[in-house]
Amino acid sequence: MYDIAIIGAGPAGVSAAINAKILNKSYIWLASRPVSKKVERAELIKNYPGLPDVTGEQLAFVFKHHAESMGIQLTEGVVTGVYDLGGRFALLADNRDFEARTVILCLGVEAAKPLEGEEEFLGRGISYCATCDGALYRGKNIAVVCTDKRFEHEIEYLCSLAAGCTVFPMYRDYEIKAQNAKIVLKNPIRYEGDTRVRRVVLKDGALDTDGVFILKSAISPATLVHGLRVEEGHIVVDRSCATNIAGIFAAGDCTGRPYQYVKAAGEGNVAAHSAAEYIANLK
Amino acid sequence: MYDIAIIGAGPAGVSAAINAKILNKSYIWLASRPVSKKVERAELIKNYPGLPDVTGEQLAFVFKHHAESMGIQLTEGVVTGVYDLGGRFALLADNRDFEARTVILCLGVEAAKPLEGEEEFLGRGISYCATCDGALYRGKNIAVVCTDKRFEHEIEYLCSLAAGCTVFPMYRDYEIKAQNAKIVLKNPIRYEGDTRVRRVVLKDGALDTDGVFILKSAISPATLVHGLRVEEGHIVVDRSCATNIAGIFAAGDCTGRPYQYVKAAGEGNVAAHSAAEYIANLK
């Protein structure tokens, strides 16, 4: 069991990890990729005090270097669920699970809004995790909605198990090698079913299915953590970065505007200190 | 009239100034010295993301360089009063005054707690500003309580006006050249009077006086801004860094723990954005 689980590799996540280490807490730092895509893409950042006129790529590099210089390791994995076990939390990332006394959510704001039916049928035919749930669909017909080329190996894994595999690639330049994959270049707009998901609804028709895998790196906070208070897409936190769930903190863009690197880094710092204080009070 | 007046040259102040400039607001950036004393004194800062293992002196240097590279000028001056004029604020700094639509307080936490009687008699015989009020005491007997060698030229100015000048230097290595200065190496513990201040009370006695000048760079927030909500020494702010007074924002250590550079810089950013939003809504 870790003291602190940190989710996200943007400025808030890096800052939280640095402070978890300095505060001498055990921690696991999880993110879907080693560097925040949003940071890396920024053209020119003029208002990160101390680093004038830095490109996103440079800022991502110095963040990474800072963490590495302190021996801080990131564990790559898409966290698809955070479960409150009472006094501790379980985190599911790909096929592994981790336990921690506190969680710091540094999720950014890129999380696509879930489609209608997505949250309703999550765990009832809809899954975010190929390696966790793929085996349940051996010999069945599945749909796979994929938002990022990086997850294509998971599509191939799913297709190797399923009898029929309809793939909706939501990005350009897809290269899906599975022979039984049927590529459909349309956007799902809704999921329907009864006690389980049964159909992927498109603008002009629908596809019957036994299960749906949605492969995306950014899962909306309310979906990730049951009962988390979210308003207008932002996790509600107080000045100490505490959410409405005791032991869960949030930092960075996911807590609201302004969407700024140094604001996020500052909140990562605050959240780590708040988590450490929370742990001290547990004992 | 400026859009934004920023008080303080620590990480919060630098960050607020950078963002005021980027947000294309007119601003005045006031501080008692060009670089925060607290930052400069820090030995080694390990958790300012992007700048691993930086000394306080180095961090102060890069902050200063960042501001200068954007053409941001700091105006040196000790702000001794912020007055709400309804929709705008007047700031008194040394002998000058400035007007602004909004104020961002980045005061740090080094402000000495005012002594008993200090706030009561402020403006009634007690003054923080030699150049503002010195002439009122021509030919009178005054006491000067000075916390920093940098203000010795003000002591000399006051002594040149007053008939009798008792000086309490609250630091080592004082060099007070005024011939009529009577140096007392004791700490004032309280100020007493009736409609005006009359006495400086010491542990073992008291000094009668016509007026008291308290020369210090850090004035407590509640003294600086009448009606500002302060709890346990910290300015109360919400998530947008707004104080209880519309148009006044606060950032950095003065808003509370953790006392951390990147938390302060993050709040300076938030406060500048909130001030800009507030101004947009005024119009």
Contacts of residue B170, Cβ cutoff 8 Å, sequence gap at least 6: B145, B146, B147, B187
Mean pLDDT within B198-227 = 92
Residue B109 has pLDDT above 90, yes or no: no
Of all residues in chain A, the percent with pLDDT exceeding 70 is 96
Q: What is the pLDDT of residue B99?
A: 97
Q: Are strands A126-127 and A211-215 parallel, antiparallel or unpaired?
A: parallel
Q: Are strands A141-146 and A126-127 parallel, antiparallel or unpaired?
A: unpaired
Residue B162 has pLDDT above 70, yes or no: yes
pLDDT confidence bin for B131, thresholds 50/70/90: confident
End-to-end CA distance of chain B: 15
State whether B19 and A69 contact (CB < 8 Å): no
Q: How far apart are CA A203 and CA A277, in angstroms?
A: 50
Chain A to chain B, count of Cβ pairs less than 8 Å apart? 118
Q: What is the pLDDT of residue A87?
A: 86
pLDDT tens digits along A66-107: 999 999 999 999 999 999 998 899 999 988 999 999 999 999
Q: What is the pLDDT of residue A165?
A: 96
pLDDT confidence bin for B111, thresholds 50/70/90: low
CA-based nearest distance B53→chain A, Å:
9
**Helix ranges restricted to H, chain B:** 11-22, 37-41, 56-69, 130-133, 152-161, 221-224, 261-282
DSSP 3-state assignment of B278? helix
Q: What is the pLDDT of residue A43?
A: 76
Q: Which residue is closest to A236 within chain B, CA to CA?
A: B239
State whether A50 and B66 contact (CB < 8 Å): yes
State whether B50 and A70 contact (CB < 8 Å): no
Sheet of strand A205-208, all strands in order from the earlier edge strand to the far edge? A190-193, A197-202, A205-208
Q: How far apart are CA B124 and CA B193, in angstroms?
A: 10
Residue A11 has pLDDT above 80, yes or no: yes
**Helix ranges restricted to H, A70-165:** 130-133, 152-161
* pTM across the whole model: 0.83
Query: Cβ distance A31 to A8 under 8 Å?
Result: yes
> Could you give the domains of chain B?
2-111+218-282 (3.50.50.60), 126-215 (3.50.50.60)
Instruction: Using an 8 Å CB-CB cutoff, list chain A residues near B15.
Output: 47, 49, 262
Q: How far apart are CA B67 and CA B69, in angstroms?
A: 5
DSSP 3-state assignment of A278? helix
Q: Which residues of A touch B (CB under 8 A)?
A: 11, 14-15, 18-19, 22, 46-53, 59, 62-63, 65-66, 69-70, 237-239, 255-258, 260, 262-270, 273
Per DSSP, B84 falls in state E
pLDDT confidence bin for A44, thresholds 50/70/90: confident
Mean pLDDT score across all residues of chain B: 92
CA-based nearest distance A243→chain B, Å:
13
Residue in B52, B256, B266 closest to A267 by CB: B266
Residue in B62, B239, B269 closest to A50 by CB: B62
State whether A50 and B48 contact (CB < 8 Å): yes
Q: Does B57 or B270 have the greater pLDDT score?
A: B270
Residue B68 has pLDDT above 90, yes or no: yes
Least Cα distance to A50 among B57, B88, B123 occurs for B57
State whether A264 and B266 contact (CB < 8 Å): yes
Q: How far apart are CA A77 and CA A74, in angstroms?
A: 9
Mean pLDDT within B174-179 = 90
Per DSSP, A150 falls in state G
Q: What is the pLDDT of residue A113?
A: 76
State whether A49 and B265 contact (CB < 8 Å): yes
Q: How far is CA A53 from each of CA B67, B79, B80, rounded to the nearest angstrom?
A: 11, 31, 35
Preferred mutation among A70, A262, A274 to probe B, highest tally of B CBs within 10 A: A262
State whether B237 and A237 contact (CB < 8 Å): no
Instruction: Using an 8 Å CB-CB cutoff, list chain B residues near A267.
Output: 263, 266
B94: left (phi over 0), alpha (psi -120 to 50) or beta: left
Q: What is the pLDDT of residue B38?
A: 67
Q: Which residue is closest to A12 within chain B, CA to CA?
A: B49
User: Torsion angle of alpha carbons B73, B76, B80, B84, nearest 10°?
Assistant: -20
Q: Which residues of B touch A (CB under 8 A)?
A: 11, 14-15, 18-19, 22, 46-53, 59, 62-63, 65-66, 69-70, 237-239, 255-258, 260, 262-270, 273
pLDDT confidence bin for A188, thresholds 50/70/90: very high
Query: Cβ distance B38 to B32 under 8 Å?
Result: no
pLDDT confidence bin for A34, thresholds 50/70/90: confident
Least Cα distance to A25 among A33, A16, A34 occurs for A16
Q: What is the pLDDT of residue B210?
A: 97
Instruction: Using an 8 Å CB-CB cutoff, list chain A residues near B19.
Output: 47
Neighbours of A69 (CB within 10 A): 12
Q: What is the pLDDT of residue A38?
A: 67
pLDDT confidence bin for A37, thresholds 50/70/90: low
Contacts of residue B188, Cβ cutoff 8 Å, sequence gap at least 6: B115, B143, B145, B168, B200, B201, B202
Q: Which residues pair with B53 in a beta bridge?
A: none
